Structure 1
Amino acid sequence: MQHLYTSEKAFKLLNGVVCLYKPSGVSLRSCRHNLLLKLCKDLNSLEVRPPEDRVVITGDTTKELKVNIEPSYADNILVVGPRYQSEDFKCIWATHLASRISGVIIMGINSGTKMVYQLDHNYPIRTYHLHGQLGLMTKNMFIDGKVVEKGRYDFIKRENVDKLMSTIQASSQKKMFELAGVDSQSQTAYELAEKGLIRPSTNKEPLIYGINCIKLELPNFVLEVNIINEYENYLLSLVHEIGLKLRCSATCTAIRCIRYSAFNIEQALLNKHWNLEYILKNMKECNAMYKKLYKLPSFLTNTSFLIQKNKRIST
């Protein structure tokens, strides 16, 4: 922060996108509120411009008037408040994450709001880790709900889970081509897949591009899901449906977003690092990555393997 002598210079640099880590149990509005409060506190701690004076003209209009320079209460910090306040910022988030979901969120600050809008309307893929527990069913399909059923789970084997994951991914691949209006076994579908990932034309249709069980320690398991247009209830119902297909009950215990397009969890700033210094460094890295994304023929990176994997499963 030594090169930022004034708050004006620092404020002008706050234009772009940042990658943050949202904890579970906290809403996006609260994250936005906390972020702006900390930025305002840091900006106000730097050197700010002095209060502007006002010109006061007094005396008889028929005679020579007196011109005095007096302090202006309309620009006094003790009257109008700190120089920088939350209302001075424009700040929006990309994809909405419910309060029970933790992980990567992308925030656009000032001119970065346009970047976030463009990012979200390119339908980027998100990667989630879904933590579940077998042998338990709750009313709201989450661990904090009322338990309505308990059952056995010791008969479930790793090969059964892997087979089910392949089936779900293959059916999702078929749905992918149906939304594109082509037959999955046709030459048109092959040529379409060669061009890159096939995305739905709207943001109302969830579509799974890849699903894999990365951890199975009965009764707990962890799924890694590459998905688009998802929402909280869909992810909860996905864990619930997997339990039913395994002839068992299952409840989601945690949901964490580990990747948003090319922005991953390693870049995300923790709550303790939401200050001006770390935000400016993170914004510089994220803005550079954002520019690289739009230079590529496909908006997403490191996801072409999903199409190839789907082809092997379908055959």
Structure 2
Amino acid sequence: MRRGVRGAWAVVMGLARLNGLFAAYKPPGLKWLHLRDTVEQQLLKGLNAAEPSVPEQRVRFLLGPMEGNEEELALTATSVPTLTKHRLVCGPAFTSRKIGVGHRLDIQSSGVLVLGVGRGRRLLTDMYDAHLTKDYTVRGLLGKATDDFHEDGRLVEKTTYDHVTREKLDRILAVIQGSHQKALVMYSNLDLQSQEAYEMATRGVIRPMNKSPMLITGIRCLHFAPPEFLLEVQCMHETQQQLRKLVHEIGLELKTTAVCSQVRRTRDGFFTLDDALLRTHWDLHSIQDAIQAAAPRVAAELEKNLKPRLGTQELPSPSPSWNSEGLSSAMGAGSCAGH
């Protein structure tokens, strides 16, 4: 029975190590739902491939010839395996493993996608409640506009862009960041005269208390080689389509047009590209190792970011009408004052 005990123990330990969060790298063109289903299939494959336990034995009396006299029959006690629980009879032991997905990525986007397995699905809710920021690299292309703000969309306009310079782009990005910083303070519902507000500001952890429109906490140009430019954006409560629209609006502010050719998430909360498992590592052992490696950091970060914030004052719920619909209105200080 040693072999059977060893196989059962391996399965129990395997399940115990499958409770937590890990990050996978989603390539462009792949739906997040397909990624989740693929991960689930790989986990089930690994769990069901564990060493099968030795079947239980039962005593049966079988009719056979007597020893020394083959002409006469007799009942002989024999130990035979019980096959009622054999894998070929009852099927695989594991047929489903619930997996949750955190902040989603649309089919055109790529990058860090956080998943929760087993009890780790509850931690996804904690991540959402912590209002953690996410980092993106967003690639833009000057000189044309499409119907969906993406490079592959239907072309609706072509423009010149010779007048666009790095300095003009940087000025616009600075205005965007300043405008969103003001909005961030408003949606945080903080008493700005409190000691806690001061400490949070110095640590850079001021966040909205509830759901808000997309808020940009940082934006800068990483590369500028017209017609292409590459932005780094730190934000929260965003969608990838809003980031594409942001590129379009930046183009309008530059007195030209621009489309988005790439949206790539490089960080989701405390998970970065270095943590994200590539498709070749979406297997049981790699995911178990990733969950165990991330567990201490996940616990520490969630505890730090979910601490009750004192010194806050209740403000009226912000109007959902402010959603960065127009970049020009979002740039002025007055864009936040009326909400």
Please give the TM-score of this superposition, normalised by the length of structure 2. 0.75
Q: Which amino acid aligns with 1:103?
A: G
Contact 1:54–1:70 (8 Å) recurs in 2:
yes
Q: Which amino acid aligns with 2:124?
A: V
Provide the C-alpha distance between the structure 1 equivalents of 2:18 and 2:90, rounded to a whole number of angstroms.
23
Q: Secondary structure at the match of 2:153?
A: coil
Provide the C-alpha distance between the structure 1 equivalents of 2:138 and 2:198, rounded to a whole number of angstroms.
27
1:254-284, CA deviations, whole angstroms, 9 ceiling, x for partnerless residues? 1000001121111111001111221122111
Which of these residues, 175, 193, 197, is aligned with residue 192 of structure 1?
197
Q: Secondary structure at the match of 1:257?
A: strand
Which of these residues, 158, 161, 172, is aligned with residue 169 of structure 2?
161
1:98-130, CA deviations, whole angstroms, 9 ceiling, x for partnerless residues? 111110011110011111221121111000111
Q: Secondary structure at the match of 2:275?
A: coil
Contact 1:19–1:286 (8 Å) recurs in 2:
no
Contact 2:17–2:291 (8 Å) recurs in 1:
no
Provide the C-alpha distance between the structure 2 equivalents of 1:95 and 1:53, rounded to a whole number of angstroms.
50
Q: Secondary structure at the match of 1:29?
A: helix
Which of these residues, 94, 103, 116, is aligned with residue 108 of structure 1?
116
TM-superposed deviation, 1:217: 1.1
TM-superposed deviation, 1:164: 0.7
TM-superposed deviation, 1:147: 0.8
1:54-111, CA deviations, whole angstroms, 9 ceiling, x for partnerless residues? 999xxxxxxxxxxx987454x34234422222x2x12101112211111001111001
Which of these residues, 45, 49, 53, is aligned with residue 45 of structure 1?
49
Alignment of 1:65-214 (within 5 A): 71=82, 73=84, 75-85=85-95, 87=96, 89-180=97-188, 188=193, 192-196=197-201, 197-214=205-222
Q: Secondary structure at the match of 1:296?
A: helix
Percent of aligned positions that are identical:
31
Provide the C-alpha distance between the structure 2 equivalents of 1:131 and 1:232, rounded to a whole number of angstroms.
12
Provide the C-alpha distance between the structure 1 equivalents of 2:168 and 2:90, rounded to a whole number of angstroms.
66
Larger radius of gyration: 2
2:27 matched residue in structure 1: 23
Provide the C-alpha distance between the structure 1 equivalents of 2:42 and 2:227, rounded to a whole number of angstroms.
41
2:225 matched residue in structure 1: 217
Q: Secondary structure at the match of 2:193?
A: helix
Contact 1:51–1:77 (8 Å) recurs in 2:
no
TM-superposed deviation, 1:42: 1.8
Q: Secondary structure at the match of 2:107?
A: coil
2:257 matched residue in structure 1: 249
Ranges in structure 2 where 5+ consecutive residues have no aligned partner: 1-5, 61-78, 308-332, 334-339
TM-superposed deviation, 1:253: 0.5
Provide the C-alpha distance between the structure 1 equivalents of 2:47 and 2:103, rounded to a whole number of angstroms.
28
Tell me the matched-pair count: 282
Q: Secondary structure at the match of 1:188?
A: coil
1:10 maps to 2:27: no
Sort the Cα spacing of 1:182 and 1:84 in 2 relative to 1 into closer, same or farther, 3 A: closer
Provide the C-alpha distance between the structure 1 equivalents of 2:168 and 2:134, rounded to a whole number of angstroms.
26
Please give the TM-score of this superposition, normalised by the length of structure 1. 0.81
Q: Which amino acid aligns with 2:50?
A: L
TM-superposed deviation, 1:177: 2.4
Sort the Cα spacing of 1:276 and 1:159 in 2 relative to 1 into closer, same or farther, 3 A: same
Q: Secondary structure at the match of 2:267?
A: strand
Q: Which amino acid aligns with 1:110?
A: G
Contact 2:127–2:302 (8 Å) recurs in 1:
no
Contact 1:101–1:256 (8 Å) recurs in 2:
yes
Which of these residues, 224, 242, 247, is aligned with residue 234 of structure 1?
242
Q: Which amino acid aligns with 2:276?
A: A
Provide the C-alpha distance between the structure 2 equivalents of 1:36 and 1:47, rounded to a whole number of angstroms.
20
Contact 1:48–1:83 (8 Å) recurs in 2:
no
Sort the Cα spacing of 1:53 and 1:244 in 2 relative to 1 into closer, same or farther, 3 A: farther
Contact 2:143–2:161 (8 Å) recurs in 1:
yes
Contact 2:187–2:212 (8 Å) recurs in 1:
no
1:133-160, CA deviations, whole angstroms, 9 ceiling, x for partnerless residues? 0001111111111111111112211111
Provide the C-alpha distance between the structure 1 equivalents of 2:260 and 2:157, rounded to a whole number of angstroms.
14
Q: Which is worse superposed, 5-14 or 243-252?
A: 5-14
